[in-house]
């Protein structure tokens, strides 16, 4: 499997979490209770699966390989993607802070969580579209089979050494649990 195909598959899990977050945001905005543990798990999924694992593979492995293949880091698609990763982290930080307030009974915290969840979802949805339809095809066109094979091996190393054995599967179980709770 090409490394970009693996990343696109991860996008599907991230998009599912974005849909779940949207439902959580709807409930919070309507004044309904949302299990704080579910909110924490959703934020953890984004921090670890979407950012540390997925964005880590891109920032530490794919993007440098693309640079070596002649795609500039600044003034092009790589720079845009990196900027959007930083912007997304800001929304996740704000969700985490709002969650802290929610646990303390701060009524405004629910609205802040919902607003930042929606902003994150909007950002990542268009970000993923650009990666799947522009960036990854560009990578596939520029990277040799040997470079792609090396990336695939490095991606597997991220799964084991950075994220932890079995953590990827654990996140997919979480998605199923939250999907049942919010999208059924």
CATH number at residue 138: 1.20.120.520
Reported as a single tens digit per residue, the pLDDT across 154-184 is: 999 998 888 888 898 999 999 999 999 999 9
The residue whose two tokens read 């982290």 is: 89
* Contact criterion met (CB below 8 Å) for 46 and 92: yes
Q: What is the pLDDT at residue 138? A: 96
Average pLDDT rounded to a whole number, residues 108-130: 97
- The model's pTM: 0.95
48: Cα within 13 Å, side-chain hemisphere? 19
Provide the number of structural domains found in the chain.
Answer: 1
User: Domain range holding 103?
Assistant: 3-182
The residue whose two tokens read 């709807």 is: 26
**Could you give the percent of the chain with pLDDT greater than 70?**
100
Q: What is the pLDDT at residue 168? A: 87
Reported as a single tens digit per residue, the pLDDT across 49-106 is: 999 999 999 999 999 999 999 999 888 899 999 999 999 999 999 999 999 999 898 8
Helix, strand and coil in the chain, % to nearest 5:
85, 0, 15
């Amino acid at each position: 499997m090409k490394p970009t195909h693996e990343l696109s598959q991860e996008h599907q899990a991230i998009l599912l979490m974005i849909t779940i977050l949207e439902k959580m945001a709807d409930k919070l905005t309507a004044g309904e209770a949302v299990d704080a543990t579910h909110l924490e798990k959703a934020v953890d999924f984004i921090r670890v699966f979407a950012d540390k694992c997925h964005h880590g593979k891109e920032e530490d492995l794919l993007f440098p390989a693309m640079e070596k293949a002649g795609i500039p880091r600044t003034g092009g698609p790589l720079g845009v993607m990196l900027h959007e990763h930083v912007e997304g982290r800001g929304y996740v930080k704000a969700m985490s802070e709002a969650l802290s307030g929610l646990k303390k009974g701060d009524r405004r915290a629910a609205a802040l969580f919902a607003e930042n969840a929606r902003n994150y979802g909007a950002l990542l949805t268009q970000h993923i579209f650009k990666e799947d339809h522009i960036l990854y095809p560009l990578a596939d066109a520029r990277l040799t089979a040997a470079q792609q094979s090396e990336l695939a091996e490095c991606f597997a190393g991220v799964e084991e050494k950075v994220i932890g054995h079995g953590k990827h599967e654990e996140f997919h179980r979480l998605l199923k649990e939250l999907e049942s709770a919010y999208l059924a």
